[in-house]
Amino acid sequence: MDTDFWLQRWTHGQTGFHQTRVMPLLQKHWPALGLPAGSRVLVPLAGKSLDVAWLAAQGHAVLAVELSPIAVEQFFTEHALQPDLHATARGTLYRAGSIEFLCGDIFDLDETSLAGCSACYDRAALIALPADLRARYVRHVYGHLPAGCRTLLLTLDYPQAEMDGPPFSVPAAEVQALYGDRWHIEALETRDVLAQEPKFAALGLSRMNTDVYRLTAV
């Protein structure tokens, strides 16, 4: 799975992963991070998520990172925003008010790019990546986030042998293995979501849970 996979999904409109409402678990658990207004929030592999606008509406400065220019342009069009565009070494930066979208590869970001992020919201990034890329992603992105950074992480847990990803299953043991060396991990909720995901049930899944974690970089 490479960058072309996701670019082609957006090109051909194969974006069933896009949610047409703000994630209820974000609204429920975001206050648990206890962030002050104005905190800069990283949203990796953001697509055109409505969650980005919701986070900005809570008073945050949002840095969303997305590979597809189609997704980025659709976000601003659908929110009736006119962004300023700036060419950077890591991609094109779209800016409108407190929302920034970097149209580029998340793996091109470095410590300087992420130093100002005091929070991260990861709903669809970790579970979008196969196992080998998940480990690289956590080392590279989370490894460059500063001490004290707080993250709301949402994962899926289902029998991986019953369905090919993406989205991939990332059970609690893997979350511990990926983050445990540097991040304090708190499990906030586990929710059975199979009944709300008929397309996955139709593929033969016997179980699907969403797990919500609060992570704090130490």
Q: What is the pLDDT of residues 173-206, one digit of tens each?
A: 999 999 999 999 999 999 999 999 999 999 999 9
Summarize pLDDT for 72-125 with one digit per residue, the tens. Answer: 999 999 999 999 999 999 999 999 999 999 999 999 999 999 999 999 999 999
Say what the pLDDT of residue 26 is: 98
Strands (E), the chain: 40-44, 61-66, 84-88, 91-96, 99-103, 119-122, 150-157, 183-192, 209-217
Local structure of residue 148 (DSSP, 8 states): T
Say what the pLDDT of residue 190 is: 98
Residue that the structure tokens 């994630």 belong to? 23
Q: Is the pLDDT of residue 2 over 80?
A: no
Say what the pLDDT of residue 3 is: 78
Say what the pLDDT of residue 5 is: 77
Q: Is the pLDDT of residue 1 over 60?
A: no
Rounded CA separation 166/129 (Å): 7
Binding residues for S-adenosyl-L-methionine, by number, are 10, 45, 66, 123
Do residues 120 and 145 make contact, with C-beta atoms less than 8 angstroms apart? yes
Binding residues, by number, are 10, 45, 66, 123
Across 35-51, average pLDDT: 96
Q: Is the pLDDT of residue 8 over 90?
A: no
* % of residues, the chain, pLDDT over 90: 89
Say what the pLDDT of residue 6 is: 67
Per DSSP, the chain holds a count of helices (H) and strands (E) of 8, 9
Say what the pLDDT of residue 89 is: 93
Q: Is the pLDDT of residue 64 over 80?
A: yes
